[in-house]
Each structure stands twice: as C-alpha cells, then as structure tokens.
C-alpha cells in the first residue's frame, strides 16, 4: 500500500511502464462513470478525513510495548510522513507465517492468505481465483530502485507459495496498478489461459501473455466458470509512473458462486461508497479488508482498523478478515499496531460479524465461520 510521498520519490527516477498487448482484451464500461476532461478517474465521494489529524481517539493511543519503541532520524524519503520511530523494532515476520502452508487444489469454499493483498479464493465449484498476486519484490527497475531508496520496500520474508503451485487458478483480479498489487512478473508465471480481470485502462501497465484480459468499470460484472465477478468502487487513487496520476481506475471485487459471496476491498479509504454498495447487494458473507497505512495524511486513501470495521458494517459483512500488514513496511505506523488496534475496535464497537485473523499461508474453510441465520456472530478471541 503505497502512500503519495513514496511514489513521488520513486517516480522521480523512473518512467511509467507501458506495454503492447497482443492477446484479446474485452472492455465492460458503465456509462454512469466517466473520466473527467483531463482523462482522469476520480473517487465517487469526498473523504471524511482530510489533513494531518488526529482523526479518531485511537490516534492518540500508544499501541506499542516499550521494547518496540526505537527512535530514528528523518531522511528525505520519510520526512513527509515521519513518526520518529522505527516501524519494525520487535517484529518477526516468521511469527505471521502459518507453520505448514499447503495449497490443496481440490479445496472448496476455502480462502488462503498469501501475504499483503494476495488471497487464493476457491469456490464451491472448481473455480479458483487470485487477488492482487505479488509473490516477489516489486517489478523490474522500479523494484530494484525502490529497495535502494527505502528498505521498507523490500519484502520482510518470502511468499508462502510458488507460482508453480497455482497453475490450476482460473482467473486473477487486480484492484489497482500500484506495485504492491500489480506484478507483471508474477502474472506471467501463471498457467496459459488464466483470465486476467483489470480495472479500466490498467492493461497499459502490464504485458500479460498468459490469457485473455477483461477490463471493467465500476458496477459491472462478468463470469468465469460458475462464478459471477463484480467490479465495485473503492476510495483510492492510481499511479505507476511519472505522468499517469489517476489515468487508470481502481476498485474492489466481489466473487459470487451462487451460494456465498466474498468481497475483496482492494486498497481504499472510507467513504459513502460502502453504503451504496450495500444498497445494491444487501450484504456479503466474507469481507477481506485492508487495515494499514492510515497514519498522518493518508487516512483519506487507506482504512484505519476502526474505519475498516465501519466499512464492513456498512457492507453488512458476516465475516471480517484483515490483510495488508507484515509483508512490506509500507504504512507509516509500526507493523505491530494494526492488529492490536483492530482488536480494540472490535471490542469497543462490538460489530455483528466474526473476526478471523489469518496467518500468511493459512487456509480456512470460510463457510465454517458463517453464523446460522438470525444468530449474532461471535468475535474470535485471540490473545495478544
């Protein structure tokens, strides 16, 4: 989850990547959503969070333990978002990793967290999908340069799977074109005929050789196998190079297998959009929600944990699964803060949904987490 300052720092040295496509590209437009006169996309509503904050009482709570607090000096990369503390003191990536990650091609109604925004979604049919798969470092020269400018942009540990283990996947959805969500290298290691579903105009950012591409506008849908896939709004932005601010769309995805729904929020801040989405779909079974990179001025484009709970309430989610923390140190908060803040939000708000915190590489049968009809869900109790 990149914040604006880091894109400026990297993009000072690079030119946006543009590729030539030879495979079929299908475009699904919605005439209700158009670019502005500058050819740019925009969010549907203004953000309720502007400026430096604080935006919520939680912003003034110290969620760190004493041994995790280590002061650092600012530099030209972090000065616009400087917190004065190292973000990874006391953090161990291996503590987030499931002890025995295993991919089961035959699994059904199953979710596997593959780190950051990457999930394997296996439906009740044979359909299987990936969300925002990035299994290595950021692509190409940009990734190489980013790691030398700021070591926060290096992976904290390897992905729990190899792309070779995912050759059975039918389709991939991408939420937006930021480098921690769109990896050309990972995509082109998938099996031939793997379908790629993108927001409008993102085709220009990737040279995808493995299968057909579908570009989609907000509130449009298509199908892959027996699964209906909807592309829905998010509150974010796009940029991949020097001159392409908001030239491509961003959004969220919904998988509907006819029995259950899985909503993947993508990168997003909070806005009215979630009430709009709920009005059209009347709630979701499982919501995969980001909870990082919310400090300082970035609250408008990323969800703080308490904002994510509010968005999930707006969506009438039954199961809440957080993501985004631990793979990279791309937020400005300490890496150990988001989960602690999320647990406090669930305790204080007491939402009518089940909280499931996954480890990287862990697989769960999500139908086991769904409550019986008309029964209030129970929050998962996990010790700090």
- pLDDT value, residue 37: 65
Tell me the mean pLDDT in the region 49-64: 92
Residue-wise pLDDT tens digits, 214-249:
999 999 999 999 999 999 999 999 999 888 899 999
- pLDDT value, residue 4: 39
Tell me the mean pLDDT in the region 3-11: 39
Residue-wise pLDDT tens digits, 170-212:
999 999 999 999 999 999 999 999 999 999 999 999 999 999 9
User: Is pLDDT above 50 for 13?
Assistant: no
Tell me the mean pLDDT in the region 268-274: 97
Tell me the mean pLDDT in the region 43-72: 93
**Greater pLDDT, 360 or 3:** 360
Tell me the mean pLDDT in the region 251-258: 97
Tell me the pLDDT band of 380, cut-offs 50, 70 and 90: low
What percentage of the chain exceeds 90 in pLDDT?
A: 75
Contacts 24+ apart (CB under 8 A), 369-374: 369/286, 369/318, 369/319, 370/260, 370/285, 370/286, 370/318, 370/319, 371/318
- pLDDT value, residue 173: 98
- pLDDT value, residue 372: 82
Tell me the pLDDT band of 77, cut-offs 50, 70 and 90: low
What whole-number distance in Å separates Cα of residue 23 and Cα of residue 188? 13
What whole-number distance in Å separates Cα of residue 369 and Cα of residue 211? 34
- pLDDT value, residue 1: 47
Most confident range (mean pLDDT) of 12-16, 48-52, 66-70, 83-87 is 66-70
Residue-wise pLDDT tens digits, 294-340:
987 789 999 999 999 999 999 999 999 999 999 999 888 999 999 99
Task: Indicate the average pLDDT of the chain.
Answer: 89
User: Is pLDDT above 90 for 82?
Assistant: no
Global pTM value = 0.91
> 288 with 121: CB under 8 angstroms?
no
- pLDDT value, residue 73: 80
**Greater pLDDT, 32 or 105:** 105
User: Is pLDDT above 60 for 19?
Assistant: no
Task: Return the HEC string of the chain.
Answer: CCCHHHHHHHHCCCCCCCCCCCCCEEEECCCCCCCCCCCCCCCCCCCCCCCCCCCCHHHHCCCCCHHHCCECCCCCCCHHHCCCECCCCCCCHHHHECCCCCCCCCCCCEEEECCCCCEEEECCCCCEEEECCCCCCCCHHHHHHHHHHCHHHCCCCCCCCCHHHHCCCCEEECCCCCCCCCCHHHHCCCCCCCEEEEECCHHHHCCCCCCCEEEECCCEEEEECCEEEEEECCCCCCCCCCCCCCCCCCCEEEEECCCCEEEECCCCCCCCHHHHHHHHHCCEEEEEEECCCCCHHHHHCCCCHHHHHHHHHHHCEEEEEEECCCCCCCCCCCCCHHHHHHHHHHHHHCCCCEECCCCECCEEEHHHHCCCCCCCCCCCCCCC
- pLDDT value, residue 43: 95
Tell me the pLDDT band of 140, cut-offs 50, 70 and 90: confident
């Amino acid at each position: 989850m990149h914040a604006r300052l880091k894109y400026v720092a990297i993009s000072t040295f690079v030119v946006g990547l543009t590729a030539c496509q030879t495979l079929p590209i299908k475009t699904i437009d919605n005439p209700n959503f158009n670019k502005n006169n500058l050819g740019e996309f925009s969010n549907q509503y203004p953000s309720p969070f502007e400026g430096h904050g604080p935006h919520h009482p939680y912003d003034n709570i110290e969620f760190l333990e004493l041994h995790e607090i280590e002061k650092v000096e600012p530099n030209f990369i972090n000065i616009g978002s400087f917190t004065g503390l190292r973000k990874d003191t006391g953090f161990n990536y291996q503590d987030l990793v499931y002890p025995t990650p295993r991919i089961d091609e035959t699994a059904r109604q199953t979710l596997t967290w593959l780190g950051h925004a990457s999930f394997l979604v296996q439906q009740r049919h044979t359909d299987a999908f990936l969300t925002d798969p990035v299994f290595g470092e950021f692509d190409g020269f940009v990734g190489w340069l980013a790691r030398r400018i700021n070591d926060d942009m290096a992976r904290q540990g390897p992905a729990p799977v190899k792309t070779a283990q995912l050759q059975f996947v039918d389709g991939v959805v991408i939420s937006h074109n930021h480098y921690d969500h769109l990896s050309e290298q990972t995509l082109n290691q998938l099996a031939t005929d793997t379908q790629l579903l993108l927001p409008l105009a993102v085709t220009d950012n990737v040279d995808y050789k493995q299968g057909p591409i579908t570009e989609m506008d907000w509130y449009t849908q298509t199908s892959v196998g027996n699964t209906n896939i909807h592309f829905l709004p998010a509150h974010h932005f796009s940029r991949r190079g020097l001159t392409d601010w908001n030239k491509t769309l961003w959004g969220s995805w919904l998988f509907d297998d006819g029995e259950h729904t899985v909503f993947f929020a993508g990168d997003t801040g909070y806005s009215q959009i979630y009430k709009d989405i709920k009005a059209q779909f009347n709630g979701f079974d499982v919501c995969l929600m980001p909870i990082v990179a919310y400090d300082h001025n970035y609250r408008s484009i990323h969800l703080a944990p308490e904002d994510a709970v509010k968005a999930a309430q707006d969506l009438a989610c039954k199961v809440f699964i957080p993501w985004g923390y631990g793979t990279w140190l791309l937020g400005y908060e300490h890496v150990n803060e988001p989960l602690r803040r999320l647990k406090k939000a669930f305790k204080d708000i007491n939402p009518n949904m089940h909280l499931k915190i996954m480890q990287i590489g862990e697989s769960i049968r999500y139908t086991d987490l769904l409550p019986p009809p008309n029964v209030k869900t129970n929050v998962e109790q996990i010790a700090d």
